[in-house]
């Protein structure tokens, strides 16, 4: 995954969430749970590092904004 840059966490309420899960379905379910509470910039795919277990997903959360309806 690309490094997290300063803009991703430039002010209180912004966060980067990285999910490690056994499979895509689980990773996207966690992302969906986050989206019910806060505004997020969702990931559209997971990544898999060779030699590492499972998959990873990164999404960006803005806790100051409500999720879109």
Q: Is the pLDDT of residue 10 over 90?
A: no
* pLDDT of 34: 94
* pLDDT of 18: 93
- Closest C-alpha among 53, 65, 38, 69 to residue 17: 38
* pLDDT of 57: 96
pLDDT, one tens digit per residue, over 47-66 is 999 999 999 999 999 988 87
Contact, 37 vs 65, CB < 8 A?
no
């Amino acid at each position: 995954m690309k490094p997290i840059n300063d803009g991703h966490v430039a002010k209180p309420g912004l966060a980067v969430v990285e999910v490690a899960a056994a499979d895509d379905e689980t990773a996207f379910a966690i992302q969906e749970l986050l989206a019910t509470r806060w505004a997020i910039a969702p990931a559209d795919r997971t990544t898999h590092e060779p030699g590492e277990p499972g998959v990873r997903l990164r999404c960006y959360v803005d806790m100051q904004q409500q999720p879109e309806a």
